[in-house]
Amino acid sequence: MSPIISVSGLSKVYGSGFKALNNINLDIARGEIFALLGPNGAGKTTLISIVCGITNPSTGSVTVGGHDINGDYRAARSLIGLVPQELHTDAFESVWDTVTFSRGLFGKPKNPAHIEKVLKDLSLWDKKDSKIITLSGGMKRRVMIAKALSHEPKILFLDEPTAGVDVELRKGMWEVVRALQASGVTIILTTHYIEEAEEMADRIGVINKGEIILVEDKATLIQKLGSKRLTLELQAKLDEIPAALAPYNLALAEGGQQITYHYDTKGDRTGITSLLSDLRTAGIRISDLDTEQSSLEDIFVSLVKRS
């Protein structure tokens, strides 16, 4: 199926001359939850703002539901709900009015039943007549989500939806997002909580200094997480791995002074015992060993450091 969002060759140079995005190419599949990770200033909000038509791209093109965001702005924008990173709501309006007004902005006919459902899903129903100013930070954030859902968008952007939201509420939001996905909405979220990406996303993208440096299925990443690495320091330098040890897929490093072995911690057996005994048989002596497990966080940190 064709992607619901297609970004190609997208770059952004701000008026200050700062290049915030450099040649971004990214397709978002219909119905997926895509998590965009990256350090502060990486370009996440800039990318979202361009797709949502708030910021102009410098070069490149974006289509949303097949509509070009420049040529066919209205059609593209009507498919999108955006929960921006910065909270801004009219403090003295009631929850009900502000959410109803948001729907009106998209030229959609009134639909009180839909607004009621959205407020109930977000546990805001008992606050519907409260002025925004009287709500807590977490409640205000949920009002922003309600506003973004008011016009029944097909795509929802959540720019750090759970920043400053307590653990319980955060889990509640994850459920709301999952329910939205089940109803056919495509979701793109940014987060600084790796755990959130692990929990929610079908795919994970990492952006750093304006460039996408990784896009991968979460399942593939998790598989990498489930694997551990055993490093063996050798007493004597080795020119090559003996053929008898081929089944272990060993790698030789540090100029033949080190062997690394990957094994699955979730498997029935790690193969370490037989590896050690086969090494001994092959006459390879070990001076030291070490094991290491990578987490999504490690992968993220090392990716960002490297680039």
Ligand X SMILES: Nc1ncnc2c1ncn2[C@@H]1O[C@H](COP(=O)(O)OP(=O)(O)OP(=O)(O)O)[C@@H](O)[C@H]1O
Interface contacts to ligand X, rule CB under 6 A: 14, 16, 18, 20, 38, 40-46, 85
> Could you tell which of Mg ion, ligand X, none binds residue 42, using a CB distance below 5 to 8 A set by kind?
ligand X
Nearer to ligand X, 195 or 264 (CB): 195
294: phi > 0 → left, psi -120 to 50 → alpha, else beta; which? beta
E strand residue ranges, the chain: 5-13, 19-28, 33-37, 59-64, 67-68, 80-83, 155-159, 186-190, 203-208, 211-217, 227-234, 251-253, 258-264, 286-293
Nearer to Mg ion, 85 or 111 (CB): 85
CB of 12 to ligand X, least distance (A): 8
CB of 302 to Mg ion, least distance (A): 22
Query: In whole angstroms, how far apart are CA 176 and each of 120, 137, 149, 183, 288?
Result: 11, 18, 11, 11, 50
Point out which span in 85-93, 95-103, 135-143, 207-215 binds Mg ion (CB under 5 A): 85-93
Residues 14-73 that bind Mg ion (CB under 5 A): 44-45
For tokens 């003295």, the residue is: 92
CB of 45 to Mg ion, least distance (A): 3
Nearer to ligand X, 45 or 186 (CB): 45
> Could you tell which of ligand X, Mg ion, none binds residue 38, using a CB distance below 5 to 8 A set by kind?
ligand X
Give dist(CA 45, CA 227) in Å, integer. 33
Using CB under 5 A, list all residues that contact Mg ion. 44-45, 85
